[in-house]
């Protein structure tokens, strides 16, 4: 099954070439040196959060599991590698039989994270683990960035509904992944039908300005939409004159009009005027939806406005200024052989700059204060302290090459809401600041 989130079978092509060439040339050299089979541990983590962010959000885990399952080389790919002299024939023969057979542990999707958090731990032979680096990072970096932006917008919205509508602002496949990540981060619906089909995210959509402009009058356009979609539809009221449009909308649909959408102008001022007008016309239950280049700051500025839903596009699918999480995938431990009894030796890059890393196969736990609020992210590579034993964060995702950690997308969404609510209140602040939890190494 390629789509764990649904149980619907959706074709996923091989992910084997979603990688950098040096992953394969390292395998070639390691095979020749006799070190390719050494038992190894890789970890994905970030050294810092994007500037000003208080926490990160793990997203894309379900897509990573799909990618690992579908990481195999077909005959056409192998011919390409051979013909382009990417790797030698013995390596091509080894790749022909490749299937990941190791173990993967990680933070469950929707969980929050901090600098140094071992978000994903991949264990197996060096060769089989190193091949997964690029595809894992491409998924986690993108999806976690979108989910973090979505989470900030969700917090700023204060319970009001959020619509993901960024498909036209990014690559068509990124749009589907973005909608999924946004749902994990707290959005309620998407305009992207591919995301709805694949991940069972609720979809919404009615009409654009083009539909109004198509007709001889705004009244004709509204009448056509209501005749087709019913009185509960949402009418776009800012093509010409908002006040006149709202009056016409209620005349046609009556007080049962579902919603009006405002896509331009001073949204705070216009929303207040529209709400007053709707109430005076008897459409007291008609909702107000606002769009127009929103981000978390704009959403927060509309907290006092009578707005029921926000539609967000560009700023969401670009991570609201931070389109990546700068995650890395590093070898942190390895044995001298493939023998499971051979001890793992911590290894780490040493650097004069900010690119150094910590060796050792790590665990992570979140320590709570007396009120049950998170106070520190604790990371270690030795024995887990007894007081943190039931607060460990990593869960088993893949065992012996078999995926064991799939779950519905709704579970990741609910987990994020719970994880965010367990952070200090300052985590919800939009002002720039340091990570809301310190990272402690033991």
Q: Bridge partners of 441?
A: 379
Q: What is the pLDDT of residue 1?
A: 42
- 42 within a domain of the structure (yes/no): yes
Give residue-wise pLDDT tens across range 325-335: 999 999 999 99
- 196 within a domain of the structure (yes/no): no
- 3 within a domain of the structure (yes/no): no
pLDDT at 299 over 90: yes
pLDDT at 238 over 50: yes
How many separate domains does the chain show? 2
- 262 within a domain of the structure (yes/no): yes
Q: Please check whether residues 326 and 289 belong to one and the same domain.
A: no
What's the whole-model pTM score?
A: 0.94
Q: What is the pLDDT of residue 13?
A: 79
- 167 within a domain of the structure (yes/no): no
Q: Please check whether residues 57 and 137 belong to one and the same domain.
A: yes
Q: Please check whether residues 287 and 359 belong to one and the same domain.
A: no
pLDDT at 57 over 50: yes
Q: What is the CATH number of the domain that holds 243?
A: 3.20.20.70
Q: What is the CATH number of the domain that holds 409?
A: 3.20.140.10
Q: Please check whether residues 228 and 253 belong to one and the same domain.
A: yes
Q: What is the pLDDT of residue 12?
A: 64
pLDDT at 2 over 60: no
Q: Please check whether residues 376 and 282 belong to one and the same domain.
A: no
Q: What are phi and psi of 398, to 5 degrees?
A: -135, 135
pLDDT at 10 over 60: no
Output the DSSP codes for 212-242: HHHSSSHHHHHHHHHHHH-TTSEEE--SS-H
pLDDT at 4 over 50: no
Q: Please check whether residues 234 and 269 belong to one and the same domain.
A: yes
Q: Please check whether residues 335 and 414 belong to one and the same domain.
A: yes
Q: What is the pLDDT of residue 220?
A: 98
- 81 within a domain of the structure (yes/no): yes
**Alpha-helical runs (H) found in 230-287:** 242-253, 267-280
**Alpha-helical runs (H) found in 167-208:** 172-184, 193-199
Angstrom CA distances, 119 to 128, 328, 330, 423, 433, stand at 19, 10, 12, 18, 22
Share of the chain above pLDDT 70, in %: 97
Can you list the pairs that 72-81 forms with residues at least 24 positions away whose Cβ atoms lie under 8 Å? 72/14, 72/16, 72/98, 72/99, 73/14, 73/16, 73/98, 74/14, 77/14, 77/16, 77/17, 80/17, 81/24
Q: Please check whether residues 292 and 342 belong to one and the same domain.
A: no
pLDDT at 6 over 90: no
Comparing 397 with 355, the larger pLDDT belongs to: 397
Q: Please check whether residues 335 and 398 belong to one and the same domain.
A: yes
pLDDT band at 112 (very low <50, low <70, confident <90, very high): very high
- 296 within a domain of the structure (yes/no): yes
- 5 within a domain of the structure (yes/no): no
Q: Please check whether residues 413 and 347 belong to one and the same domain.
A: yes
Counted residue by residue, the chain has a size of: 442
Instruction: Find the mean pLDDT for residues 21-40.
Output: 98
25 burial (CB, 10 Å; 0-12 / 13-18 / 19+) is middle
Q: Please check whether residues 25 and 139 belong to one and the same domain.
A: yes
pLDDT at 369 over 80: yes
Instruction: Find the mean pLDDT for residues 168-173.
Output: 95
Q: Please check whether residues 272 and 349 belong to one and the same domain.
A: no
User: Among 156-160, 281-285, 352-356, where is mean pLDDT lowest?
Assistant: 352-356
Q: What is the pLDDT of residue 431?
A: 87
* Range(s) of the domain holding residue 222: 206-307
pLDDT at 52 over 90: no
Q: What is the mean pLDDT of the chain?
A: 95
């Amino acid at each position: 099954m390629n789509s764990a989130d649904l149980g619907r079978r959706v074709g996923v092509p091989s992910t084997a070439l979603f990688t950098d060439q040096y992953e394969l040339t390292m395998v070639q050299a390691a095979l020749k040196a006799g070190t390719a089979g050494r038992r190894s541990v890789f970890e994905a983590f970030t050294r810092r959060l994007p500037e000003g962010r208080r926490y990160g959000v793990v997203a894309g885990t379900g897509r990573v599991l799909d990618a690992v399952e579908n990481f195999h080389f077909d005959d056409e790919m192998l011919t390409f590698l051979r013909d382009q002299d990417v790797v030698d024939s013995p390596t091509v023969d080894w790749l022909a039989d490749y299937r990941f057979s190791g173990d993967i542990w990680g933070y469950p999707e929707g969980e929050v994270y901090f600098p140094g958090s071992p978000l994903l731990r991949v264990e197996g032979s060096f060769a089989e683990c190193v091949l997964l680096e690029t595809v894992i990072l491409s998924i986690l970096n993108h999806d976690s960035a979108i989910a973090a932006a979505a989470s900030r917008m969700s917090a700023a919205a204060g319970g009001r509904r959020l619509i993901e509508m960024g498909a036209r602002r990014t690559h068509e496949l990124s749009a589907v992944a973005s909608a999924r990540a946004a749902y994990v981060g707290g959005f309620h619906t998407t305009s992207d039908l591919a995301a709805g089909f694949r991940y069972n995210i609720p979809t919404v959509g009615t009409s654009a300005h083009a539909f109004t402009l198509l007709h001889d009058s705004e009244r004709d356009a509204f009448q056509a939409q209501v005749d087709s979609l019913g009185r509960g539809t949402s009418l776009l009221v800012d093509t010409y004159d908002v006040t006149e449009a709202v009056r016409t909308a209620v005349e046609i649909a009556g007080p049962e009009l579902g919603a009006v959408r405002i896509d331009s102008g001073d949204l705070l001022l216009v929303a207040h005027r529209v709400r007053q007008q709707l109430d005076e016309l008897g459409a007291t239950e008609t909702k107000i939806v606002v769009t127009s280049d929103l981000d978390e700051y704009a959403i927060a500025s509309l907290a006092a406005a009578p707005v029921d839903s926000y539609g967000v596009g560009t700023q969401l699918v670009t991570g609201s200024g931070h389109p990546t999480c700068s995650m890395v995938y590093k070898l942190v431990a390895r044995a001298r052989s493939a023998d499971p009894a051979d001890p793992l030796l911590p290894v780490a890059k040493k650097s004069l700059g900010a690119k150094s890393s910590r060796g050792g196969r790590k665990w992570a736990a979140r320590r709570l204060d007396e009120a049950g609020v998170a106070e520190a992210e604790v990371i270690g590579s030795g024995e887990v302290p007894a007081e943190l034993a039931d607060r460990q964060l990593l869960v088993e995702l893949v065992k012996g090459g078999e995926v064991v950690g799939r779950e519905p997308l709704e579970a990741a969404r609910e987990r994020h809401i719970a994880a965010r609510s367990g952070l200090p209140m300052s985590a919800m602040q939009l002002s720039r600041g340091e990570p809301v939890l310190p990272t402690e190494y033991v």
